[in-house]
Amino acid sequence: MTPSLVVDNSIVMTWCFQDEANDYADAVLNSLTDAVVIVPSIWPLPDSQGNCSPPVG
C-alpha cells in the first residue's frame, strides 16, 4: 500500500520562500518521493494572491 500524506498550503509555501524554511517542511518534501499527496479542496485559495509565482518584471 502506498502511503498518503495530507498537505496544506502553509507547508507548501515554506518551499517557495527560503526565509520560511524549517526542518518539518523539508521532511515533508523529502517524503513525497514515496507518498501520494492529498490536499484539501480549498488548497489553492490561500495562495490566490500568487505568492508562489515568479516575480514579474
Whether 44 and 12 have beta carbons less than 8 Å apart is answered as: no
Pairing relationship of beta strands 36-38 and 4-6 according to DSSP bridges? parallel
Give me the pLDDT at residue 18, please: 87
Cα–Cα dist 9/4, whole Å: 16
Picking from 19, 44, 39, 43, the residue whose alpha carbon sits closest to that of residue 28 is 39
Q: Where are the domains of the chain?
A: 4-39
Burial (0-12, 13-18, 19+ Cβ within 10 Å), 45: exposed
The reported pTM is 0.62
Give me the pLDDT at residue 49, please: 59
Give me the pLDDT at residue 6, please: 86
pLDDT tens profile 1-57: 788 888 888 888 888 888 888 999 999 888 888 888 888 787 777 665 555 555 554
